Structure 1
Amino acid sequence: MLFESPTTPAAPDALEPDDDPGRLLARLIAINSVNPDLVPGGAGETEIADFCGAWLGARGFEVHRLEKRPGRPSLVAIARGTGGGRSLMLNGHLDTVGAADYDGDPFDPQIRDGKMFGRGAFDMKGGLAAMMVAAVRAARGPLPGDVMLACVADEEHGSSGTEEVLEFVIADGAIVTEPSQLEVTLAHKGFVWFEVEIEGRAAHGSRPELGIDAIAKAGHFLVALEELGQRLMAGPAHPLLGTGTVHASVIQGGEEASTYPAHCRITLERRTVPGESSDRVERELTAMLDRLAATVPDFRYRLTRGLHREPFEADPEAPVVRTLVRHAERILGHPPVIRAESYWTDCALLDRAGIPCLLFGVDGAGAHAATEYVDLASLDRLTDILTSTIADFCS
C-alpha cells in the first residue's frame, strides 16, 4: 500500500439506509458510463466515479481518485485494517461499451423474472455492486488486513485504469469481479495485434509490365495465415484454454479500378495461451513472411506490432484462490466449476504486478449485446461469497 493522504468525497444521496446490491446496481445502471475511446462523445467515467466515491466515502472508506487522463478517473477506496492481516483488492471497471443499439432505454434498469436489465448490468456493474456492498459488510468487522476496491476506467478499451492503479497500490491478493456465471476463472487468453503491409508498385492497368499487384501478393500471405491457424489448432493445447488462434481482421488496399495497387494492409489478431508471448508470435509471423519473400516473386512486406496483452494463469493453490473456492462451495452448496475464459481481462495486469488473483462474478447474459441482464439471485450469492472471502482472507 503506497497511499498516505486520503480524500473522502461525500454526497447526500449516497447515504442509503441499507446496502442492498440490487438497489446499488440499479443506481449504477442509471449512470451513463459509455467508454469514449469506443464511442466518440461517450460519457466516460466521471459521473459514475463521483457516485461510487461518495457512496464509499459515506461508509467510512478512504477514497483516492486517480486521473492521469483528464475525464477518465479511477478510484481506490480503502478500509484500513487494524494490522497483522493480509490485504485484498477487489477490481471492477466503471465503463461500458456503447448503447446506441440497445433494445430499449439502456439506462433505465428494469426487473423481469428475477433479472435486472440495462447496459452494464452483466458487464460489469453487477460485479461492481457486489464488491462494493461486500467490502462494506466485511469491513464492519473490523479486520486485521486492508480491504481495497479498485473501481477502474477504460477496461473495455485499453485498461489504462488498472494500469494507473497499479502504479500506487499493491496487495496480497485480488479478485476481479467480471461476470463468470459464479464459476471460478483461473486462466484466460492474451492477444497481440499486428499490421502487415504488402508492398507493390502502382501502375496504370494497361501497363502490367510496370505494376506489381500488392493485393494479389497479399493473397499468398492470407493463405499462409490460414495454414498457420490450422497448425495452431492441431498443436499442443492448454488444459483449460485449448490452443492459440489467429485470424485476419481488416484488409485495406487499392485506389481505383484502373490502377495496380501499391499497398495492401492487413490487420490480424493472434490469441495466445500461457506459454505464448507476443515476442514469440512476432518471430512466428516474421518466419512465415520471410519464407514468402524467398519464394514468391516481388513479395515485400513490413510487419508492425500493435496492442498486445499477455495471457493469464492463476496458481490454484494461492491463498486467495483457495479461500474463495472454499466459501463458494459452502454458499453454493457444491464445488464451484473451475474454468478458463477466452477473452482478456485485467487479471493479467494484476498477475504481472505480482498480485495473486482470480476472476469470479455474476450469472446473466448480454455482454456487448442489444439486451443485457444479470440474474439477481446470483448477484446476492456473489455478494455473500465475496463478503465471506474478504473476512477470511484479511484475517
Structure 2
Amino acid sequence: MNPRDLLAELIAIDSVNPDLVPGGNGETAIADHCTDWFRHNNFEVHRLEQRRGRPSLVAVRRGTGGGKSLMLNGHIDTVGTSGYDGDPLAPEIKDGRMFGRGAFDMKSGVAAMMVAATKATEHPLRGDVIVACVADEEHGSFGTEEVLTRFTADAAIVTEPSHLEVTLAHKGFVWFDVEIEGKAAHGSRPELGVDAIAKAGHFLVALEQLGQDLTTRHHLLGTGTVHASLISGGEEASTYPSSCRITLERRTIPGETPDVVENELRKILDHLTATVPDFRATLTRGLARDPFEADPDAEIVRTLIAGLGEPPVIRAEPFWTDCALLDRAGIPCLLFGVDGAGAHAATEYVDLASLDRLTDVLTRTITGFCG
C-alpha cells in the first residue's frame, strides 16, 4: 500500500476543473478510480453529485463505537494543463520528486489520506474515519459544501500542501464589481459626454490608498489586501465611454467580514460622489469566502503535533482553502500537507519523502484521535 503508486495513478487521470477551463474533464473519471480503490479496501462509499458530472466521494470506515470521528478532506480537481512543460498526465520521477499536474496541488494529499486511512484502520478504531475526495475546490468549492450537507465529524484535516508545516490560519476573500457611470457622446462634443473611464481613475487611486491604509495585523497573516483585478469600458476611440466596470478582490484576515469590507468601499464611493463632478457608481458584492483560524489548543491540533514527533513549524497561508467551510460548519480543523512546488505553474512536483512523511503522520493522527 504505497502512496507513491497511488499518486502516479491519480496524476494520470485528467481531472481539470471545467469551471476554470471550458471543456475540462471534471472529476468523474478520478472519482470512479477512487471508488474502486476504496471498495477494494473495504470502505463504505458514498457518491455525491448534485451537479451532474461533478462528483465528490466520501469513503467511511465505521468505528466500533465510543470514539471521535475524523474527516480527511482533499480536492480531486486540478487547474488546466495548457502550457504545462511536458506531458502533465505522465507522472515522472526525478531526483526524489514526482512531476505532473496535480502532483503538488493536491493529488499527493489525496493519495496520502487514502492510504493513511486504510493503514490506520487495519485494526478497528472506536471512532469513524471519513475520507472526503471533493470536487471544485479550484473554483467555487461546491464539493465540500455538498459533503457538509450530508456528513460531519468531530474534527478534520485538510491535506492541501503546507510543506509539512502545521497551518492554523488562512485569509478569506470578497469579490466586488464597481460600475462607474458615464454619458456617451461623440469625441468632438466633450460638453455632452461624461468619460466613465476617467472617472474610474479616481476610484482606482482611492483603492490603492485603501490598500496602504489596511494596517490591522494578524499575528500569522499580516494585513488584509485589496487590488483591482479586471477593468473594461468604452465602445470605440471616437466616443466618450458610457460605463467602466472594475472587478476587485479584497483579501481578508480573521475579524474582517464581507459587510465590513463593503462598508469600506461604499465610504470611498460616497466620498467620490460628493467631491468629484459627475461621479456616479454602483457597487455589487460577488463571491465571499471567510478567513480561517484554528484553535491551537484544539484536540486535533494537539494530536497531529504529537504525531510529528518533533517541534512543529506553525504557519498561515495567504490563499483560501476548504478549512474555512469546515470550521464554519463547527468542525475543528487544520491544514497539513506535502512539500514541493509548482501549484498552477508550468512545472509541478511533490517531494516524495514528504509524501511518505505525510502518510505516516496522518496514520498516527487518525489512530491517536479515533482510537
Deviations 1:305-328 (A, max 9, x none): 011101000000000011001111
Q: Does 1:33 align with 2:7?
A: no
What does residue 185 of structure 2 align with? 203
What SS does the corresponding residue of 1:389 show, helix, strand or coil?
A: helix
- TM-score of the superposed pair, with normalisation by structure 2: 0.99
Match of 1:68 among 46, 50, 73: 50
Gaps spanning 5+ residues in structure 2: where? none
Specify the code of the residue in structure 1 equivalent to 2:26: G
Match of 2:285 among 277, 281, 305: 305
What does residue 57 of structure 1 align with? 39
What does residue 14 of structure 1 align with? none
Specify the code of the residue in structure 2 equivalent to 1:261: P
Q: Does 1:270 align with 2:250?
A: yes
Match of 1:245 among 219, 222, 225: 225
Deviation, 1:336, is 1.6
Report matched runs for 1:277-296 at 5 Å: 277-296=257-276
What SS does the corresponding residue of 1:97 show, helix, strand or coil?
A: coil
Deviations 1:165-204 (A, max 9, x none): 0000010000000000000000000000000000010001
Gaps spanning 5+ residues in structure 1: where? 1-18
Match of 1:368 among 334, 338, 344: 344
Q: Does 1:185 align with 2:167?
A: yes
Deviations 1:266-315 (A, max 9, x none): 00000000000111100110011000000001100010001110100000
Specify the code of the residue in structure 2 equivalent to 1:310: D
Question: Do the aligned partners of 1:141 and 1:391 also contact (CA within 8 Å) in 2?
Answer: no
What SS does the corresponding residue of 1:50 show, helix, strand or coil?
A: helix
Deviation, 1:100, is 1.0
Deviations 1:135-161 (A, max 9, x none): 000011210000000000000000010
Q: After the TM superposition, list the runs of 4 or more consecutive aligned residues in structure 1 that deviate by more than 4 angstroms.
A: none
State how far apart, in whole Å, the 2-side matches of 1:133 and 1:118 are.
Answer: 20
RMSD, aligned α-carbons: 0.5
What does residue 106 of structure 2 align with? 124
Specify the code of the residue in structure 2 equivalent to 1:148: I
State how far apart, in whole Å, the 2-side matches of 1:158 and 1:57 are.
Answer: 28
Deviation, 1:207, is 1.0
Deviations 1:5-37 (A, max 9, x none): xxxxxxxxxxxxxx1000000000000000000
Deviation, 1:236, is 2.1
State how far apart, in whole Å, the 1-side matches of 2:219 and 2:323 are.
Answer: 19
What SS does the corresponding residue of 1:51 show, helix, strand or coil?
A: helix
What SS does the corresponding residue of 1:63 show, helix, strand or coil?
A: strand
State how far apart, in whole Å, the 2-side matches of 1:81 and 1:307 are.
Answer: 38
State how far apart, in whole Å, the 1-side matches of 2:231 and 2:3 are.
Answer: 45
What does residue 259 of structure 1 align with? 239
Match of 2:145 among 163, 168, 180: 163
Match of 1:316 among 292, 296, 319: 296
Specify the code of the residue in structure 1 equivalent to 2:267: A
What SS does the corresponding residue of 1:121 show, helix, strand or coil?
A: coil
Q: Does 1:381 align with 2:357?
A: yes
Deviation, 1:265, is 0.4
Deviations 1:319-348 (A, max 9, x none): 0011001111x1xxx312000000000000
Q: Does 1:109 align with 2:91?
A: yes
State how far apart, in whole Å, the 2-side matches of 1:363 and 1:322 are.
Answer: 21
Deviations 1:213-237 (A, max 9, x none): 10111110001000000001xx121
What SS does the corresponding residue of 1:265 show, helix, strand or coil?
A: strand
State how far apart, in whole Å, the 2-side matches of 1:345 and 1:337 are.
Answer: 19
State how far apart, in whole Å, the 2-side matches of 1:355 and 1:303 are.
Answer: 34
What SS does the corresponding residue of 1:43 show, helix, strand or coil?
A: coil
Deviations 1:222-253 (A, max 9, x none): 01000000001xx1210000000000011101
Report how many aligned residue pairs link the two structures: 371
Q: Does 1:86 align with 2:68?
A: yes
State how far apart, in whole Å, the 1-side matches of 2:120 and 2:282 are.
Answer: 54
Deviation, 1:208, is 0.9
Deviation, 1:91, is 0.1
State how far apart, in whole Å, the 2-side matches of 1:97 and 1:209 are.
Answer: 49
Specify the code of the residue in structure 2 equivalent to 1:394: C
State how far apart, in whole Å, the 1-side matches of 2:230 and 2:362 are.
Answer: 41
Q: Does 1:392 align with 2:365?
A: no
State how far apart, in whole Å, the 2-side matches of 1:205 and 1:392 are.
Answer: 72
Deviation, 1:352, is 0.2
